[in-house]
């Protein structure tokens, strides 16, 4: 009978060959930094220097950090020291694909391990045809980790329960002052899904500039939780699982590609009464003023939406988006502005990622915490003359980042898994 957590030679050789040793113990059997000018290397440019141990350690904390709408980059064309830091000390999955191309369906799969026919989350909440929530009777990763002896916590965006967005009947959180938001009720809701310590502000964070305004709140709450709860639990030898859900680069969904004085994007069928979803100019913040002209625009950005043989759903989807965010012409200056905003949203997000990583270091938790970084879906960013996500399976939407850092397996590798 093989010892628990004992790795036989064949399995160890396979893991080493695939480069996935860093993720094995995710299945346990017991309960603002300075920006540099150089973009990071691709994952496969950094050699793996670790060794596979004979036995798997137990009791590691697990920190899952999820961002919203970030596609996979073979090489980031801009500095992202937080992501590069994880790449240098972890394993990068170079072919990680999601299961759905909008937030709610993808997150339902991520947090339950079940596909959409089982979660019944086929589209984002908020549409008339999505008038129900994720069934709390479905076991989430929160329930599963609790059964394994982990303390579980949740921070940031959820997007799987309507009441998180509208905790008071007929009134959404974006219509409330922060003091009006019934935080105890939100905490109670998340307990049903297997997570404690949800002291968030609801899903207001998914609206225009939601990441810019509120990712700092989620990051601050995460740091506070690590200090007040994570470190003490670690001292008691009680492992924890914390899910941290940042919004950016989702803000790119609402980019206003007009220049000052123009009203092109604002013409047409756009719903101008929904003030939380209107297109917006990039924030007046230094990190959002950077342009990236050396990054090539997508070669297929002018592909006609009504090209023979192309699914009609592509054009219909872009027309539907026009109701929410306006329609803009197929002009290179507009695609450039969209990509600049997208890249800078990722850079902004990376500052929050690095702040969390720094706090793990400061609390001396890094050496005892598995870190998983990923995204729910990508962004088309002008490819095939489309922007946003949904209604297609282009690589810009379904190919997303996945980096796992395990302190027991130092070194770096890339895996096409």
Does 332 have pLDDT greater than 90? yes
User: Band of the pLDDT at 18, cuts 50, 70, 90?
Assistant: very low
Give, in order, the Cα–Cα distances in Å from 111 to each of 139, 140, 145.
9, 5, 11
pLDDT digits (tens, 9 = 90+) for 302-322: 999 999 999 999 999 999 988
The pTM of this model reads 0.86
As given in the structure block, the two tokens for residue 31 are 């309960």
Listed in order, strand segments (DSSP E) in 144-205 are: 151-156
**Nearest-angstrom CA–CA distance, 110 and 400:** 13
For residue 365, the model assigns a pLDDT of 98
Backbone angles phi, psi at 234, to 5 degrees: -60, -40
Nearest to 52 by CA among 89, 24, 86, 72: 24
Beta-carbon contacts of 223 under 8 Å, excluding residues fewer than 6 positions away, are 355, 356, 359
User: Band of the pLDDT at 52, cuts 50, 70, 90?
Assistant: low
Name the least confident of 170-184, 191-205, 286-300: 170-184
Q: What residue segments make up the domains of the chain, in order of their start? A: 60-417
For residue 275, the model assigns a pLDDT of 65
Residues 118, 123, 129: CA angle, nearest 5 degrees: 95
H or E segment at 313?
helix 312-325
CATH annotation of 60-417: 3.40.720.10
**Nearest-angstrom CA–CA distance, 76 and 40:** 6
**Nearest-angstrom CA–CA distance, 114 and 130:** 18
| Rounded average pLDDT over 191-217 | 88
Listed in order, strand segments (DSSP E) in 117-217 are: 151-156
The chain-wide mean pLDDT, for the chain, equals: 86
pLDDT digits (tens, 9 = 90+) for 212-253: 999 999 999 999 999 999 999 999 999 999 999 999 999 999
**Nearest-angstrom CA–CA distance, 240 and 193:** 16
Task: Please provide the DSSP assignment of 330-368 as one string.
Answer: --HHHHHHHHHHHHHHHHHHHHHHHHHHHHHHHTT-GGG
Does 56 have pLDDT greater than 80? no
For residue 240, the model assigns a pLDDT of 98
């Amino acid at each position: 009978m093989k010892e628990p957590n004992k790795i036989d030679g064949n399995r160890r050789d396979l893991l080493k060959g695939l480069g996935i040793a860093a993720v094995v113990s995710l299945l346990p059997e017991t309960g603002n930094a300075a920006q540099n000018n150089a973009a990071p290397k691709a994952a496969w440019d950094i050699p793996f220097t670790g060794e596979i141990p004979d036995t798997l350690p137990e009791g590691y904390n697990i920190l899952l950090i999820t961002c919203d709408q970030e596609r996979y980059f073979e090489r980031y064309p801009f500095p992202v020291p937080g992501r590069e830091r994880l790449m240098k000390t972890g394993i990068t999955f170079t072919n990680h694909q999601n299961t759905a191309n909008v937030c709610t369906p993808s997150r339902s799969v991520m947090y339950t391990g079940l596909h959409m026919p089982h979660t019944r989350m086929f589209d984002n909440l908020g549409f008339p045809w999505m008038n129900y929530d994720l069934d709390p009777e479905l076991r989430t990763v929160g329930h599963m980790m609790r059964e394994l002896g982990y303390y579980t916590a949740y921070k940031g965006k959820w997007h799987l329960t309507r009441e998180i967005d509208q905790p008071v009947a007929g009134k959404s959180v974006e219509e409330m002052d922060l003091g009006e938001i019934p935080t105890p009720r939100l905490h109670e809701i998340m307990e049903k899904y297997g997570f404690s310590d949800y002291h968030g502000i609801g899903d207001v964070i998914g609206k225009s500039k939601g990441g810019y305004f509120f990712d700092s709140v989620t990051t601050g709450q995460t740091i506070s939780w690590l200090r007040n709860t994570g470190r003490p639990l670690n001292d008691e030898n009680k492992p924890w699982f914390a899910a941290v859900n940042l919004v950016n680069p989702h803000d790119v969904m609402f980019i206003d590609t007009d220049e000052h004085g123009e009203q092109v994007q604002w013409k047409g069928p756009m719903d101008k009464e929904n003030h939380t979803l209107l297109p917006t100019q990039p924030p007046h913040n230094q990190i959002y003023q950077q342009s990236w002209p050396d990054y090539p625009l997508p070669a297929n950005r002018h592909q006609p939406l009504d090209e023979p043989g192309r699914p009609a759903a592509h054009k219909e989807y872009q027309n539907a988006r026009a109701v929410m965010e306006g329609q803009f012409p197929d002009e290179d200056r507009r695609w450039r502005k969209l990509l600049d905003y997208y890249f800078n949203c990722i850079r902004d997000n990376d500052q929050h990622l690095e702040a969390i990583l720094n706090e793990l270091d400061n609390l001396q938790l890094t050496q005892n915490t598995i870190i998983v970084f990923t995204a729910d879906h990508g962004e088309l960013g002008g490819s095939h003359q489309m922007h946003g996500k949904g209604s297609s399976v282009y690589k810009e939407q379904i190919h997303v980042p996945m980096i796992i850092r395990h302190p027991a397996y130092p070194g770096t590798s890339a895996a096409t898994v």
